[in-house]
A = this chain, B = another copy of it.
């Protein structure tokens, strides 16, 4: 195949969902220090929205998602790419199996988040806004605890239903309604003393700009993953702190009320 001749360096397993992948691609582009087209990363993005529901597969122990992800990884490998990004947190449940199947580096979204927090977040108490599949798998909590963070769970019974609704609404294309639910979920975090809300589902990343006005620090997994990919591939340096894509630069100014 002619893929390697194209010189693409990054492979993206996307479409999980598509709006979240578009958000990732846009942030990757905006975070690249570029004066012209040629300064940008050559990449191939597979948008595969027919991959079965990740949360259902985790909760039911199905291997259908893994099979689809492996097919995507094998296809990307044929392009001769150096790194793979999956702008879907829940899919990282199968990270180890996927990593063993490729010579490319799969950039882990949670490690990207932890790197991002190490650079710009001085607090300790964080909350995960994530799918039931991600929460059940435990890969986020393990890495956050290992990095010294306290993972808080808001006690309000409506917290997780609000997160679920926000994710579902983005997938259904009603982002304005999703933003209302996300802001309500973040208000619960803030009321219980959480210092940072982690947008640990890339559907929520689509609303990172709206989320930053909720009076707590917002860590966006799509922004973190984009930064990590650009660092691995040498397009930004370790010292560069570029948060403009997610509009997060003013986010740590405390005290703004949730709209």
Contacts and interface: CB of A to CB of B under 8 A. Distances in A.
Interface of A: 1-3, 5-8, 15-19, 21-23, 25-26, 29-30, 32, 34-51, 53, 71-72, 74-75, 78, 171-173
A78 to B, nearest CB: 5
| Residue with the highest number of chain B CB atoms closer than 10 Å, among A2, A23, A41 | A2
Contacts of A18: 25, 29, 37, 40-41
**How many copies of this chain sit in the oligomeric assembly?**
2
A115 to B, nearest CB: 23
Nearest to A203: B37
Contacts of A51: 37
Given A22-B29, A47-B25, A17 B40 contact: yes
B36 A47 contact: no
Given A5-B71, A34-B173, 18 more contacts: A6-B48, A6-B72, A7-B48, A7-B50, A8-B48, A15-B42, A17-B37, A18-B25, A22-B25, A25-B25, A32-B173, A36-B172, A37-B49, A38-B49, A42-B47, A44-B45, A44-B46, A44-B47
Nearest to A206: B26
A71 B2 CA distance: 7
A15 B41 CA distance: 9
Contact of A75 (B2, B23, B26, B35): B2
Nearest to A244: B173
Contact of A172 (B35, B47, B50): B35
30 contacts: A1-B1, A2-B71, A2-B74, A2-B78, A3-B78, A6-B46, A7-B48, A8-B47, A15-B40, A15-B42, A15-B43, A19-B29, A19-B30, A21-B25, A22-B29, A23-B26, A25-B25, A26-B26, A35-B172, A37-B50, A37-B53, A37-B171, A38-B50, A40-B47, A41-B49, A42-B49, A44-B46, A44-B47, A45-B45, A45-B47
